[in-house]
A and B are shown apart, each in its own frame.
Chain A
């Protein structure tokens, strides 16, 4: 029985990781794409140049593909809390359900209705009206990010609650405090700028592949310019927003911060930054590392002095704080290696994309426009298409694994949240099917996006049928 329940817990965690990571390939991309396409269509409205209309429609096709996959994989997320984590849902329902319901009511309806209108009304509305539909879609998708992050922020840093003494469950005491959670307003800008960077990088990358194929030269170059400018600003913004978020994490979740930087022992007055390191996670020590003096103090406090607390002393503090309630055999060390390396992938990735944006902008500038001769750079930009998805996932791994062993920080452990009714057999079955389904969908998505790129902007495509001119809701439908 004991072995069986460990199996269920690991399998349920694996399923959550797999479904959210896959979902989160498409969500930031869709949010960012809505933004990029909205910019393109706005340029069409302002400059009245048909190229920009073509651009919005062409990139819109890839946006719609990703949106569709994002929507359907999102339903899994909402069901999953009840299916695999019913005890969590019972414990947290008073708080967690509200943002989810508001997300659906406010954001999902908005984005799904206006994207439907946007898709099919290019010839029905004046451009200056039509462009609003994509902006409303984008606003809807950004609103959804606020609400789901409000729910997640509570799990990272609970605010506005009390424990119901009769049931032992969490009870909402202040809706305002849940919305005002400082975590939320630090993580939201980071996620949104990351989303925009993702989409811009993909636009640049696909345009680079288009240029390598040497067709629709002007179209892809113009798209690339827009993408590069957006990615430049987004890359800077995502780094700045990440820095703000770090400040918050140091305060609320010092264990998470110590793990991202691989700090076991409390540092001295001026903390060195570990570039890379190898760890012994059993003995809780760093085996070997390359360090740069003072930089960690700089990252953490924006000055050359200031010590950072290590995981070992944090572990003792957490034991002192929680042993009475959760028992002495809790392990408060987060998965150090994964979190440490994920941080390096994510932060290094942002730096890489900043660099490629600058390079791209240099070689596409008006008077010295030589990018088509720089095939190496086109290849680099092309390959970069795939990278932001890895960087985004790494960011989420830090956020979610850094919460270990808590489901809700300080209130409920992961092990206490899992559904008592779910069996390992069921989880094996659903994990395997999800995995196969996601592999198929991811492959098809990439395949069709590539097809769209090859066909270029002048292909009208099949799409859905057009509408004719008679009205079924006229009188004839309701009686003769």
Chain B
């Protein structure tokens, strides 16, 4: 494995961490339009908190996919063809919630608005659930042949670990979204978000324990990398504990940051367990390795140069755009 291969493996992880940190709260706000909002005014205020950001946040996913294609084409090809139906349904969810922002603002009838609000909520719930499912199913050892073709059946996609993983990611996104709402809105909705998020942390802890046990049973993480896996699990629990403490103590900013980092550290846990593989086959000889799956050294070099130039510029205006919209959204009465 070359240094550039390792770098790009880490960079893909970073892009997914960015995606879950950012789009994670978008998903959470989308779910909150049902579980938190009581009427359309509430919903409008909630949507306003992510209105300027959701599109840019989603680009992290597109960039992660593109970067995976560029740096590890074999990984990209096997993963995307192997998770055909899950990814297709994820796309449907992303499409419906993506257009719902514009369409609900243009809908004039109550029925039209209701339809697009539901699309937003369902899309925002289903997308993180399916992505969580995909990431927790692909660490279990897939029926993959030596060409990297994955012939996964339903039960490879849908099983105990992947369902728990999907639910955990969805729940974390909701918590993260509620923390974001507490930061970005004032009045009644802010208080209600506080009350709800406090309860959800207890469910999250239960979920994390179950997840850790299932990880031990269903994956080879504890066999392959016992110490780092254990440390990362401790980190995940510690971060969610800090996040919960902040939620109770009304340190809204830190609560938000730590719930995002919790999501991020789950991504680290998965990538750490995958390493040095990118896809785990049920027959270890067929597993796809970092050293075999990558693009040529020349392409990696070009992409590294490009990323070094473009990433800082992109991050600068990306962060600037959050600075522009740092004020709270006016809540409905």
Using CB atoms, name the residue of chain A closest to B295.
Answer: A94
Report the bound CA distance from A76 to B92 in whole Å: 9
Report the bound CA distance from A175 to B306 in whole Å: 11
A115 touches B55 (CB 8 A): yes
Is A452 at the interface (CB under 8 A from chain B)? yes
Is B174 at the interface (CB under 8 A from chain A)? no
A89-138 contacts to B (CB < 8 Å): 89-90, 92-98, 100-106, 108-110, 112-117, 119-121, 124
Is B220 at the interface (CB under 8 A from chain A)? no
Q: How many residues of A contact B (CB 8 A)?
A: 86
Given contacts A82-B79, A98-B299, A105 and B314 within 8 Å (CB-CB): yes
Is B147 at the interface (CB under 8 A from chain A)? yes
Using CB atoms, name the residue of chain B closest to A77.
Answer: B62
Is B155 at the interface (CB under 8 A from chain A)? no
Is A323 at the interface (CB under 8 A from chain B)? no
Point out the residues of chain A lying under 8 angstroms from B222, CB to CB. Answer: none
Using CB atoms, name the residue of chain B closest to A61.
Answer: B106
- Could you tell me the distance in whole angstroms from the C-beta of A446 to the nearest C-beta in chain B? 12
A472 touches B252 (CB 8 A): yes
B73 touches A89 (CB 8 A): yes
- Could you tell me the distance in whole angstroms from the C-beta of A66 to the nearest C-beta in chain B? 9
Given contacts A105-B63, A472-B326, A477-B183, A68 and B102 within 8 Å (CB-CB): yes
Contacting chain B: which of A203-211, A228-236, A303-311, A417-425? Answer: A417-425
A79 touches B80 (CB 8 A): yes
B149 touches A473 (CB 8 A): no
Q: How many residues of B contact A (CB 8 A)?
A: 84
Given contacts A119-B51, A124-B324, A465 and B101 within 8 Å (CB-CB): no
B327 touches A472 (CB 8 A): yes
Point out the residues of chain B lying under 8 angstroms from A471, CB to CB. Answer: 326-328
Given contacts A82-B81, A448-B103, A452-B106, A437 and B95 within 8 Å (CB-CB): yes
Given contacts A468-B330, A471-B328, A93 and B106 within 8 Å (CB-CB): no
Report the bound CA distance from A120 to B66 in whole Å: 29
A452-480 contacts to B (CB < 8 Å): 452, 461-473, 476-480
Tell me which of B183, B250, B251, B299 contacts A473 (CB under 8 A).
Answer: B183
Report the bound CA distance from A119 to B325 in whole Å: 12
Is A64 at the interface (CB under 8 A from chain B)? yes
Count, A-B residue pairs, CB within 8 A: 276
A97 touches B73 (CB 8 A): yes
B84 touches A422 (CB 8 A): yes
B53 touches A116 (CB 8 A): yes
- Could you tell me the distance in whole angstroms from the C-beta of A147 to the nearest C-beta in chain B? 10
Point out the residues of chain A lying under 8 angstroms from B102, CB to CB. Answer: 64-65, 67-68
Report the bound CA distance from A71 to B150 in whole Å: 29
Point out the residues of chain B lying under 8 angstroms from A1, CB to CB. Answer: none
Is A367 at the interface (CB under 8 A from chain B)? no
Is B248 at the interface (CB under 8 A from chain A)? no
Is A439 at the interface (CB under 8 A from chain B)? no
Point out the residues of chain A lying under 8 angstroms from B59, CB to CB. Answer: 104, 108-109, 112
A69 touches B99 (CB 8 A): yes
B79 touches A117 (CB 8 A): no
Report the bound CA distance from A260 to B269 in whole Å: 55
Is B48 at the interface (CB under 8 A from chain A)? yes
Report the bound CA distance from A464 to B299 in whole Å: 43
Using CB atoms, name the residue of chain A closest to B321.
Answer: A113
Is A276 at the interface (CB under 8 A from chain B)? no
Is B208 at the interface (CB under 8 A from chain A)? no
Tell me which of B82, B85, B328 contacts A470 (CB under 8 A).
Answer: B328
Is B165 at the interface (CB under 8 A from chain A)? no
Is B307 at the interface (CB under 8 A from chain A)? yes
Using CB atoms, name the residue of chain A closest to B123.
Answer: A72
Point out the residues of chain B lying under 8 angstroms from A290, CB to CB. Answer: none
Using CB atoms, name the residue of chain A closest to B71.
Answer: A97
B271-315 contacts to A (CB < 8 Å): 295-296, 298-299, 302-303, 306-307, 310-311, 314
Is A286 at the interface (CB under 8 A from chain B)? no
Is A370 at the interface (CB under 8 A from chain B)? no
B303 touches A65 (CB 8 A): no
Point out the residues of chain A lying under 8 angstroms from B306, CB to CB. Answer: 98, 101-102, 105
Using CB atoms, name the residue of chain B closest to A473.
Answer: B326
- Could you tell me the distance in whole angstroms from the C-beta of B95 to the nearest C-beta in chain A? 4
Tell me which of A64, A97, A426, A463 contacts B69 (CB under 8 A).
Answer: A97
Show 5 residue pairs from A and B whose CB-CB distance is below 8 angstroms, ordered by the A residue: A78-B62, A104-B62, A420-B149, A470-B327, A478-B251
When A and B form their complex, which 5 residue pairs have the shortest distance between CB atoms, in order from nearest? A93-B73, A82-B80, A97-B70, A97-B69, A477-B253
13 more A-B residue pairs beyond the given contacts A105-B310, A113-B56, A467-B330, with a C-beta to C-beta distance below 8 A? A68-B103, A75-B95, A83-B87, A89-B77, A97-B295, A100-B66, A101-B69, A112-B59, A426-B85, A429-B85, A465-B329, A477-B253, A478-B252
